[in-house]
Structure 1
Amino acid sequence: MKITIIAGARPNFMKIAPIIEAIQKEAKKGSDINYRLVHTGQHYDKKMSHDFFEQLGIPEPDANLGAGGGTQAEQTANIMVGFEKELIKNPADLVLVVGDVTSTMACSIVAKKLNTKVAHVEAGIRSGDLSMPEEINRMVTDAITDYFFTTSEIANTNLRKNGVDEGSIFYVGNTMIDTLLKQMPNFKKPPVWDQADLKDKEYLVITLHRPANVDQEQDLKTLIDEIVALSRELPIIFPVHPRTAQMLSNIGIEAPNLHMIEPLSYLEFNYLVKYAKAVITDSGGITEETTVMGVPCMTLRNNTERPETITTGTNELLGTDPKALKPYMEILFNGEWKKGAIPKFWDGKTAAKIVEHLVYLFIKDAKIIS
């Protein structure tokens, strides 16, 4: 069984690492399974790409399409053109995509047009917000996927509503949590820990990159000013996403306890998250990590594709109005934040289950063909 695995952006790397490891283990058992790793180049910043491969033990890609940059349409087109050539030259029995980035959608389309089966890891999640490029990527990918590997019962329900056959849905858990649990002993203290004299549970971490929060200078300034005002002078660590950096340079925000730093590697960033008093973010993936680590999390969005982090975990959905922060910050500082629990199957064993299913499906299909 030849599997082509697609990686394109930071969230993908954490999701493919345990899958590659599981394939390697299965191959050592004697199974006829191998993989080819294709990096689309969607994220080309060193901190968002190369460092993750090094730290997570991901082998060097077999191919890099170098399709980063450009508008949504340009990037999608570049990935599709590059991947079509790659897949024709190196045919596969299955193309495996993860998450909801542009690469996920673009490579799924190419695979199906070349009559190659597609497996989608993290299928079925929905925010209901079509203004998000990721939501469109999810919907298109799931519309043409053959095998759906899901992280929650909510995702299963979404797929059923769309008419997906029950036999194609595999509720396996979350591969990003496989990576988190494996790498937790390897978390690295970042330089800012000593520079800002940080102490366990005595600082906040914020991340912002979504257009609703960062595209308007005054709105971004108001939001950060509000976080600073409510922080009770605790240090605020703000690894600045490239999307946000230019906007911040125009605003000129300063506060004694606000530490704006460059993006961190996976191991350094999660060290900060693990020991933070709370995380304020507009990222979906971070809400999963905080849930597993039991860290209070406030999501500055009007919707989320990961509702289990709220219903089960430590996350709360605040919306994009900075005024919504105050009551939640009071709950936090009063020591009354909900404890939360870890969602079903987020146990570090997801990738092994995915590979087990794929081997079985390949054998079953081979018997049907023969």
Structure 2
Amino acid sequence: MKTTIIAGARPNFIKVAPVIHAIKKAQQNGEKIAYRLVHTGQHYDPKMSDTFFIELNIPQPDINLECGGGTQAEQTAAIMIAFEKELVANPADLVIVVGDVTSTMACSIVAKKLNTKVAHIEAGIRSFDLSMPEEINRMVTDSITDYFFTTTKWAGGNLLKAGVEQTRIFFTGNVMIDTLMANQHKFREPAIWAKLKLEKKQFVVLTLHRPANVDEPGKLKEIIETILNNVNGLPVIFPIHPRTAKIFTDLGIEAENMHLVDPMGYLEFNFLVSNSKAVITDSGGITEEATVFGIPCLTLRDNTERPETCEIGTNELVGAQPVKIKMALEKLFNGNWKKGTIPALWDGNTAERIVERILSFNG
């Protein structure tokens, strides 16, 4: 079986790594399966992509489509045009897409129009918030996918409600956790650890990138100041997204416990998260990692496509209103944060289950 694996943005690299490793293991066991890794170039900053290939031991892509930059529509169009040429030149039996970024949707559409089957890893997750570009990407991708690999039974339920046949839905677990468990022994201190003489559980990690939180300077300033005023003076480590950095510099926020750092590699960032007092974020994937680490996670959103991190894990939806952020931080520092557990099949073996299932399609 010939497969083409799509990666375009930071979360994708984390998710495709264990799949590639599982395919290589299957090859060593005599299975007839090949892969071609296509990097769409959606994230073109080396700090946001290249380091992941090195840290996670992923082979260099067979091709980089170099489709970074532009508006949502421009980037979607560029990826579709470039990937169509790629897939025509290198036909596959199955195109494997992961997650919910622009590359996921664009390459799925191209594959289906070329009569190539599509497998979606992390299918079925929903925020039910159509203001999020990722939600559009998920819905479009799942509407044309052939094989659905889900992280939870809840995600599978969303697909069933949308009319997907049960026989095409496979509850295999979470590939992000495969990568987390496989690399945990390699986590390393970032430079900021020694520079600030950080101590375990004595600092907070902050990540913000969603337009709803960072595009309006006044709102972003309000969020940041609320956090700084309610963390009991603990250092706040903010690996700042390039997009957010442009806005943040104009806010004029000065606080001794606010520390901006460049985007980190996977191993350094997760060292910080796993040793932190708590994580404050508007990301989705980080809520999963925090849940596995047992680290309190405050999500500055009103909805989540990963409800298991709230129902089972250590995550809580806080929203972005200052009063709610303040209340959540008071709860944290009063020692009243919930103790979470790890969802089913988040055990480090998801990719092997996926590849085993893909091999059965060939039979």
Deviation at 1:287, TM superposition (A): 0.1
Counterparts of 1:187-226 in structure 2, within 5 Å, are 187-226=187-226
Deviation at 1:195, TM superposition (A): 1.1
Contact 2:5 2:35 in 1 (8 A): yes
Instruction: Report the TM-score when normalising by structure 1.
Output: 0.98
Question: Where does residue 312 of structure 2 map in the other structure?
Answer: 312
Contact 1:150 1:172 in 2 (8 A): yes
Q: Give the count of matched residue pairs.
A: 363
Contact 2:239 2:263 in 1 (8 A): yes
Question: Where does residue 11 of structure 1 map in the other structure?
Answer: 11
* Structure 1 portions without partners, runs of 5+: 364-370
Counterparts of 1:68-147 in structure 2, within 5 Å, are 68-147=68-147
1:272 has 2:251 as partner: no
Cα distance in 2 for residues equivalent to 1:271 and 1:77? 37
State the identity as a percent.
64
Cα distance in 1 for residues equivalent to 2:260 and 2:232? 18
1:245 has 2:224 as partner: no
Question: Where does residue 342 of structure 2 map in the other structure?
Answer: 342
Deviations 1:296-333 (A, max 9, x none): 00000011000000000000001121220122112211
Contact 1:212 1:320 in 2 (8 A): no
Contact 1:318 1:324 in 2 (8 A): yes
Question: Where does residue 183 of structure 2 map in the other structure?
Answer: 183
Contact 1:201 1:277 in 2 (8 A): yes
1:321 has 2:329 as partner: no
Aligned structure 1 segments of 4 or more residues deviating by more than 4 angstroms = none
Cα distance in 2 for residues equivalent to 1:361 and 1:166? 15
Question: Where does residue 157 of structure 2 map in the other structure?
Answer: 157
Question: Where does residue 368 of structure 1 map in the other structure?
Answer: none
Contact 2:204 2:280 in 1 (8 A): yes
Deviations 1:135-194 (A, max 9, x none): 000000000000000001110110000000000000000000000011111001000001
Cα distance in 2 for residues equivalent to 1:331 and 1:185? 32
Question: Where does residue 29 of structure 1 map in the other structure?
Answer: 29
Deviations 1:93-115 (A, max 9, x none): 00000000000000000000000
SS at the partner of 2:142? helix
Which residue identity is paired with 2:115?
N
Which sits farther off after the overlay, 60-69 or 323-332? 323-332
* Structure 2 portions without partners, runs of 5+: none
Which residue identity is paired with 2:142?
D
Deviation at 1:23, TM superposition (A): 0.3
Question: Where does residue 351 of structure 1 map in the other structure?
Answer: 351
SS at the partner of 1:230? coil
SS at the partner of 2:78? helix
Contact 1:291 1:315 in 2 (8 A): yes
Contact 1:149 1:170 in 2 (8 A): yes
RMSD after superposition: 0.5
SS at the partner of 2:250? helix
Cα distance in 2 for residues equivalent to 1:10 and 1:252? 29
